[in-house]
Amino acid sequence: MTGIRSYNRRVLVTGGAGFLGSHLCERLIARGDEVVCVDNYFTGSRRNIAHLLGNPNFETIRHDVTFPLYVEVDQIFNLACPASPVHYQHDPVQTTKTSVHGAINMLGLAKRLNARILQASTSEVYGDPAVHPQPEEYWGNVNPIGPRSCYDEGKRCAETLFFDYHRQHQLPIKVMRIFNTYGPRMHPNDGRVVSNFIMQALKGEPITVYGDGSQTRSFCYVDDLIEGMIRLMDSPAEVTGPINIGNPGEFTMLELAEHVVALTGSRSTIEHRPLPQDDPKQRRPDITKAKSLLEWEPTIPLRDGLERTIHYFRSHFVD
């Protein structure tokens, strides 16, 4: 039967070698899909997908989504985009291109195939929110010209494109607003708070809290997030989103630092550093829609998720 189209669903995951993408590929393969992973390896790595490489249902293509892509698939998960401020500010023009040109190319691909397409959007579309917690109806408070704008505005424009392809070309779309997510395979040096604090605690280095540490974030464990993503993709066609997926448990950065120190048994002390420009003061998802439309809510509390993540960092990056 080689060469003949099988009955398996064929799914494209852009950014499939990244943190979230690699977990998604794993879950899709586990349920019997054929997965095509597209990545330019800017922030992802082959190490993240090494365990999938021998699988006959998994294939990889080194490709930058800012260029057109011609493949034949039934569904598209568009995750390609650096997610950590350190990475997305490294080449901000490329970041905007990845979100905007990447969305146009993947939407063009989806249009040709009439394939379902899901966009990994972000809570950053709410900017430094004046409404708390954030429901999907909130339009956000985003600086269009600051250092975070390449990411925030790129993602906002991608949402615009998704809804215009939906209205103009009746494309079946799903837009997911992802709130801060953590877990194994986060890049140890990507500057995000969970990976920073864990690496610092494990190495006995000072924990770097930016500002006074009173700013809040809501942290979702990766397995919960991927479950929400798959449920959204498989939801009825009229559920387009945007839909918030995140864990409503809200913590200050000081609280997070204290949890990490306690769970690692570290002797690290806390050191304050300047607060980056435009750093949102608070963030917490309103997940009413995810609960009612997807029957989804997170199940893994911060403490359990941190323990699993600490175990991963300890075994992979620290002697």
Q: Rule CB under 6 A: is residue 107 a binding residue for ligand NAD?
A: no
Judge contact between 80 and 38, C-beta under 8 A: yes
Judge contact between 73 and 38, C-beta under 8 A: no
From the candidates 7, 41, 88, 151, give the one annotated as an active-site residue. 151
Smallest CA-to-CA distance from 76 within 101, 47, 108, 54 is with 108
Tokens (6 digits) for 164: 């215009």
One residue of 210, 251, 312, 317 binding ligand UDP per CB under 6 A: 210
One residue of 181, 215, 264, 309 binding ligand NAD per CB under 6 A: 181
Instruction: Tell me whether residue 13 or residue 268 sits nearer to ligand NAD (CB atom).
Output: 13
Tell me, residue by residue from 94 to 133, as one string, x for binding to ligand UDP by CB under 6 A and - for no binding. Answer: ----------xx--xx-xx---------------------
Smallest CA-to-CA distance from 100 within 159, 164, 178 is with 159
Query: Measured from the CB of residue 193, what is the shortest distance to ligand UDP in angstroms?
Result: 3
Burial class (CB within 10 angstroms; exposed 0-12, middle 13-18, buried 19+) of 62 = exposed
Q: What are phi and psi of 303, to 5 degrees?
A: -60, -45
Q: Rule CB under 6 A: is residue 69 a binding residue for ligand UDP?
A: yes
Q: Rule CB under 6 A: is residue 187 a binding residue for ligand UDP?
A: no
7 is catalytic: no
Q: Rule CB under 6 A: is residue 259 a binding residue for ligand UDP?
A: no
Near ligand UDP by CB under 6 A, which window of 24-32, 47-55, 205-213, 238-246?
A: 205-213
Instruction: Tell me whether residue 90 or residue 112 sits nearer to ligand UDP (CB atom).
Output: 112
d(CA 99, CA 84): 14
Letter for the amino acid at 135? P
Smallest CA-to-CA distance from 206 within 108, 272, 116 is with 272
Tell me, residue by residue from 17 to 56, as one string, x for binding to ligand NAD by CB under 6 A and - for no binding. Answer: xxxxx-----------------xxxxxx------------
In this structure, is the dihedral angle defined by the CA atoms of residues 163, 292, 299 and 37, taken in order, positive or negative?
A: negative
Task: List residues near ligand NAD by CB under 6 A.
Answer: 14-15, 17-21, 39-44, 64-66, 79-83, 98, 102, 120, 122, 178, 180-181
Catalytic residues: 151
Task: List residues near ligand UDP by CB under 6 A.
Answer: 68-70, 84-85, 104-105, 108-109, 111-112, 180, 192-193, 196, 208-210, 215, 217, 253, 276, 279
